[in-house]
Structure formats: structure tokens, C-alpha cells
A = this chain, B = another copy of it.
């Protein structure tokens, strides 16, 4: 009886002890950490992504010489519209169960990034209220596509079967193609003839934005990967960016005789766009190769294809998002095919097709809606909407 008593006592405390111990050990083993630790890790990624949204995308768009105040204000307004709206939509539960707060914040930031890409296509030709309206219309479309392609929405694609953790498809390609759709209906003749000017100061601001994006890109791609996958993932992203940066320089000088700083500021980032889908599963060497290919194709786009595209499609893509996010994004989605083991190839391709169709059609419709708020008269110029902006 004495023994039994002791044993019971031991067993009970032991049980309690082990409950927490074993579960913690299991968590460690399965790369899962206590929630408060996970939240903090993801919070830091979330802040890194916020740098990309505001300073990154914001200043990258300041390359338009006379439109800096507008580009930065638009960035502020787009982000401030996108984040709460995404929360609102997810909180309805209509498009998948709302996840934990920090995870939802990161997903909202992904939506804001995609929105900023879309806005880049028509930058300088919308009035401030139109950027806000663009945000209000874009985010539901974005969330819908994300839900269908990644979250199993409407039962079309098994959840998790499309490999796109860093958003090559659902963030970059979606945003760029949506922007193209808007540009298709919005571009005026006058805009086709207006030169988009930059100067030494706007170019250096633009490089600041580009560098902010480059620096924090690993956090963008690794924001929602497991702690165990993180180290391999972030090195992949960095290798892809190094590859695209070197390739951009080489292609820019080869294709143009002299280097275009716009190529450097933009195409150097194409590796980050393209590695998005495969950042976890790729090898380091493959990541570098994907980066080199993306940087090459993107530079080719900026240096050669863009002027043809504009004539052929009769649009202006102000920031060249087709070349930085569109093509490299789709490349990234395809790059998964030969790399990922046990991939459902059909679903991967179906997810890409759905993204393209939804983005283009929604963008086209939104382009028809935006003019209800009028039209900007003087393109690429702060003075129409900002005080003391003649300088």
C-alpha cells in the first residue's frame, strides 16, 4: 500500500511532467516551437515584409522624377487600405478559417504586396482616390484567387497541392497580370506619348527601394515555412537574388551598350520573384540557376520586349511589372515542375491558369470601374494633386 501510494504520486506528477516535456520534445522534433516563440519569429518576418511594402515598393516607384510625393503617398494609401480589408475578409470565414493573428498579418501583407505590383502597372495615371478604390476592388479578387489556388476554395484544387510558398504565382504573377488588365482599359493616347522621366536623385531613391526589397526578400519567402526549413530557404533566396543581380548587369550592358540603372533596380530582383514557388524544395545550385535565368529574361524584357509590348498591346506598364513580376512569376511557378518531388503537376498548372484568367479578367473589369472617379489630366506629375509641387 505504501509503495502504491508513492507510485501513484510519482505517476501523477510524472504524467504531468511528461505531458509538457514530451509535447515540447515532440514539438522540437517536428520543428514546432511554442506558439509564443513561433509568433515572435513570424512577427519579425512580418516587419521585414512591411519594410518591403513601404520603403521597398514605395521608393522603387520614386524613379518617376516628378511623381515622388504621389508614389509614396499612393503606397501609404494602398497598404492602409489592403491590410484591414484583408483581415475583414478573412474574418468573415467565407474564404477559409481565419488563422492566428500574426499569420493573418503576413497573409494580409502578401495581399498588399500583390496590390502594389498591380498599381505599379498604372502608376502615375491614377488619382489618389483611384488608388484607394483600386485597393478596395483588388483585395477581394486577390483573396478569392488565393483561396481557390492554395486554400482548396470551391473544391477545384486540393489545398496544399500547388507549391507556391513564396508567392511567385499567387502574389507576383497575379498582381502583375491584374495590373496589365487595368492598364488595358485605362491607357490613353496622350499617356502613350508622354515620356516617363527620371533623374539622378529619383534613380538613387529607386535603388534604395530596390535594395530594401532585395535585403528582406528572404523573410518574404520564409515567412510561413517551418523553422526547420528556414535556413535552406533563405540561402536559396539569397543565391537566386545574387544570380539575378549578376545576370542583370551582364545582360543590361550586353543589350544596351551602357547599363540602365532601371534594369539594375528592377531586374536584379527577378531572382526573388522566380524562386518564390520553389524556395523550400530547390537546391542552392538550382536556386542560383533560377535566379540567373530570371534576371536574364527580366532584363531582356526591360531592354527589348517592353517597347514592343507597349505598341502591340497599346498599353503603358509604368513600372514594367510584366517584366519584373509577370514573366519571372510564371517562370517560378513552372520551375517547380522538374524540382518538387511528388508534385501534382496538373494542379500546379491548373493553379497557374486560374491565376492568369482571374487576374486578367478582374483587372480588366476594375479598369472599367476606376474611371468613374475621373481621370488624371497630367500624367506622372505631382502638381495636379499636391501643394507646392511645381519643383
Contact = CB atoms under 8 A, between A and B. Distances in A.
A80 B20 contact: no
A59 B209 CA distance: 12
A84 B239 contact: yes
State how many copies of this chain the complex holds: 3
Contact of A36 (B28, B73, B211, B216): B28
A351 interface: no
A230 B6 contact: no
Question: Dominant SS at the A interface?
Answer: helix
Interface string A64-91: 0010110011011101110110010000
A139 B387 CA distance: 38
Contacts of A174: none
Interface stretch (A98-106, A309-317, A331-339): A98-106
Given A68-B203, A72-B211, A39 B227 contact: yes
Interface string A200-244: 110111011001101110110000000110111011001101110
Given A105-B234, A200-B68, A214 B260 contact: no
Interface string A124-144: 000010001000000000000
A264 B76 contact: yes
A239 B34 CA distance: 26
Contact of A77 (B22, B249, B386): B249
Given A36-B33, A211-B55, A264 B73 contact: yes
A215 B55 contact: yes
B21 A17 contact: yes
Contacts of A44: 40, 44
A101 to B, nearest CB: 4
A387 B368 CA distance: 37
A192 interface: no
B234 A43 contact: yes
A344 interface: no
A111 to B, nearest CB: 13
Contacts of A341: none
A101 B258 contact: no
Interface string A238-254: 11011101100100010
Contacts of A84: 239, 242-243, 288
A234 B103 CA distance: 12
B204 A62 contact: yes
Interface of A: 3, 6-7, 10-11, 13-14, 16-18, 20-22, 24-25, 28, 31, 33-34, 36-37, 39-41, 43-44, 46-48, 50-51, 54-55, 58-59, 62, 66, 68-69, 72-73, 75-77, 79-81, 83-84, 87, 100-102, 104-105, 128, 132, 198-201, 203-205, 207-208, 211-212, 214-216, 218-219, 227-228, 230-232, 234-235, 238-239, 241-243, 245-246, 249, 253, 256, 258-261, 264, 268, 284, 288, 382, 385-389, 391
Given A7-B7, A87-B235, 10 more contacts: A14-B18, A21-B21, A36-B230, A72-B207, A76-B268, A80-B245, A80-B246, A101-B232, A208-B208, A260-B388
